[in-house]
């Protein structure tokens, strides 16, 4: 199978390989391109012999065109990875998205971001879908979900993971699924996907967009506490995620009533009743325009929260390191409490709009003690230098999640 990405990237061009994601398909690495002087992401498959038809097909899909709202493909990797030994592997080399996935953002914030950012994310996802659907022939993503929406350093969204993507002309005939074969992630799949004979269309992506829209607005995963067999049964019966929470917030907040209406149209049981991607994009554009003047403040607020959470994580690593060193040297648990390690005042969480940060952030705002951010380090009489702690404290390690997650 030929592919349209002409750049072939050898293993000799890459340095500093680091695993940043994995799944049933294989692993995602972050590496530094020596000549380009930038980080890239490399997707490799398990058990690849250097001629993987599955990966070549995905490369073809992602190289079909170029859009600022679809992940950019730099080229094809062919060579030896840190895990392949002496064998040659084939991989997909993509731009590295510093802020990870929408799913990781939701997990870190413990809820949705401020409304201006919500509406920008929704609009950018719609733009990505509309671009794919406008190609000749149209490309169907077929696995839209938070894990497959990646975020750059400014929290702009791009679609990724075309492992299930298909050209629409490939489904001119009804496709009969094999046993246990599914198209997409269960909670985001349209009701027609559960039929024995399933012919994916643009409307299949629109249904998934409706569920993804609900997830972005609420910051939650659909049917999170429901067993898969019930979800599989109830979706064709018309069950959808609850809109009660959004309705309660809609009063006095511009655009939420329109969002509810768009969701319901997108996840209509009848594919023919769902809007086109162009119609969705026009609606989301108007929603974003209402809040565009506040987007910079919203992005700054979220980035500040993400950086604070990263600092807390690194602080925990430093604490763990000092305790580990204590146990290694003394052979016993540390007994000395170091009160003179400078940590600075705890960060102050800004509160804005309708965004409610997770509980640890709220506790800090209210002046409550948060155990994870205590400034007392327990160790033995082994001195850990301020320089060593500073290195770990201020180091930024960004590891986005490119992996496929199956429900």
Angle value at C-alpha 185, between 182 and 190, nearest 5 degrees:
75
Q: Are both 125 and 196 inside the same structural domain?
A: yes
Give pLDDT, residue 397. Answer: 45
Q: Could you please report the per-residue DSSP string of 303-347?
A: HHHHHHHHHHHHHHHHHHHHHHHHHHHHSS---EEE------SPP
Same-domain status, 65 and 162 = no
Query: Radius of gyration (Cα) for the chain, nearest Å?
Result: 23
- Mark whether 139 and 115 lie in a shared domain: yes
The pTM score is: 0.73
The per-residue pLDDT for range 5-35, each reduced to its tens digit, is 557 888 889 999 988 877 656 788 999 999 9
Task: Name residues of the chain where pLDDT drops below 70.
Answer: 1-6, 23-25, 46-65, 84-85, 163-165, 167-183, 323-407
Residues 129 and 277 in one domain: yes
- Bridge-based pairing of strands 336-338 and 197-198 is unpaired
- Report the catalytic residues: 143
Enclosing domain of residue 267: 100-171+183-306
Q: Which helix (H) or strand (E) holds 290?
A: helix 277-291
CA distance 164 to 137: 16
Report if residue 352 sits inside a domain.
Answer: no
The domain total for the chain is 2
CATH of the domain at 32: 3.30.200.20
Examine the domain organization and report whether 58 and 166 are in the same domain.
Answer: no
The residue from 306, 325, 340 where one domain ends is 306
Cα separation, 102 vs 150, whole angstroms: 6
Q: Give me the pLDDT at residue 365, please.
A: 38
Judge if 38 and 134 occupy the same domain: no
Residue 242 in domain:
yes
Residues 165 and 252 in one domain: yes
pLDDT at 377: 40
Same domain, 137 and 268: yes
pLDDT for the residue numbered 164: 63
Residue 285 is predicted with a pLDDT of 98
Does residue 338 lie in a domain region? no
pLDDT value, residue 246: 95
What pLDDT digit, counting tens, does each position of 69-118 carry? 999 888 888 888 877 667 778 888 889 999 999 999 999 999 999 999 99
- Residue 256: inside a domain, yes or no? yes
String of DSSP letters for 111-169: S---HHHHHHHHHHHHHHHHHHHHSSSPEE----SGGGEEE-TT--EEE---SS-EEGG
Domain boundary pick from 41, 70, 95 = 95
Query: What's the CATH number where 110 sits?
Result: 1.10.510.10
pLDDT number for residue 12: 87
Question: Tokens 């929603």 — which residue?
Answer: 287
Q: CA 281, 283, 288: angle at the middle one, nearest 5?
A: 90
Give pLDDT, residue 27: 82
Same domain as 219, residue 296: yes
In a domain, 17, yes or no: yes
What is the DSSP pairing of strand 166-167 with strand 149-151? unpaired
166 annotated as a binding-site residue? no
Buried b (16+ CB within 10 A) or exposed e, 315-351: beebbeebbebbeeeeeeebeeeeeeeeeeeebebee
Q: Which residues have C-beta within 8 Å of that of residue 340, sequence separation ≥ 6?
A: none
Domain final residue, candidates 288, 306, 324: 306
310 alpha-carbon distance from chain centroid: 17
The pLDDT score that the predictor gives to residue 26 is: 72
> What local confidence, expressed as pLDDT, does residue 324 receive?
67
Domain assignment of residue 29, yes or no: yes
Looking at residue 323, its pLDDT comes to 67
- Residue 120 and residue 89 share a domain: no
Residue 352's pLDDT is what?
43
- Is residue 166 located within the same domain as residue 38? no
β-strand partners of 379: 336
Same domain (yes/no): 200, 230: yes
Alpha-carbon gap, residue 140 to 143, rounded angstroms: 9
Asked if the structure places residue 364 within a domain, the reply is: no
Whether 112 is in a domain gets the answer yes
């Amino acid at each position: 199978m030929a592919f349209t990405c002409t750049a072939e990237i050898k293993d000799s061009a890459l340095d500093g390989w680091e695993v940043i994601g994995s799944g049933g398909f294989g692993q995602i690495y972050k590496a530094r391109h020596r000549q380009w002087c930038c980080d890239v992401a490399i997707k490799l498959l398990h058990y690849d012999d250097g001629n993987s038809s599955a990966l070549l097909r995905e490369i073809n899909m992602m190289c079909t065109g170029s859009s600022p709202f679809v992940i950019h493909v730099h080229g094809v990797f062919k060579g030896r990875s840190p895990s392949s030994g002496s064998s040659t592997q084939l991989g997909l080399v993509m731009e590295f998205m510093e802020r990870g996935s929408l799913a990781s953002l939701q997990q870190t914030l413990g809820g949705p971001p401020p409304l201006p950012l919500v509406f920008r994310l929704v609009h950018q996802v719609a733009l990505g879908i509309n671009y794919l659907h406008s190609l000749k022939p149209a490309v169907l993503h077929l696995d839209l979900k938070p894990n497959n929406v990646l975020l750059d350093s400014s929290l702009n969204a791009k679609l990724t993971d075309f492992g299930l993507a298909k050209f629409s002309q490939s489904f001119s005939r009804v496709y009969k699924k094999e046993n246990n074969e599914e198209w997409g992630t269960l909670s985001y799949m349209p009701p027609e996907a559960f039929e024995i004979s399933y012919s994916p269309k643009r409307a299949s992506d629109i249904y998934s967009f409706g569920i993804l829209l609900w997830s972005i607005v609420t910051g939650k995963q659909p049917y999170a506490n429901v067993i898969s067999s019930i979800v599989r049964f109830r979706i064709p019966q018309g069950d959808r995620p609850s809109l009660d929470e959004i309705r309660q917030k809609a009063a006095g907040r511009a655009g939420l009533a329109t969002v509810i209406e768009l969701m319901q149209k997108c996840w209509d049981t009848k594919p023919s009743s769902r809007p086109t991607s162009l119609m969705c994009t026009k609606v989301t554009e108007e929603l974003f325009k209402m809040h565009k003047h506040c987007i910079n403040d919203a992005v700054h607020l979220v980035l500040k929260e993400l950086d604070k959470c990263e600092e807390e994580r690194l602080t925990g690593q430093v604490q763990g390191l000092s305790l580990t060193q204590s146990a290694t040297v003394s052979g016993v648990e540390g007994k000395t409490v170091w009160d003179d390690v400078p940590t600075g005042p705890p960060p102050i969480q800004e509160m804005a709009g309708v965004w409610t940060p997770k509980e640890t952030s709220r506790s800090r705002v209210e002046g409550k003690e948060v155990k994870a951010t205590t400034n007392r380090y327990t160790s033995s009489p082994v001195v850990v230098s301020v320089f060593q702690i500073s290195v770990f404290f201020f180091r930024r390690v960004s590891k986005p999640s490119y992996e496929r997650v199956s429900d």
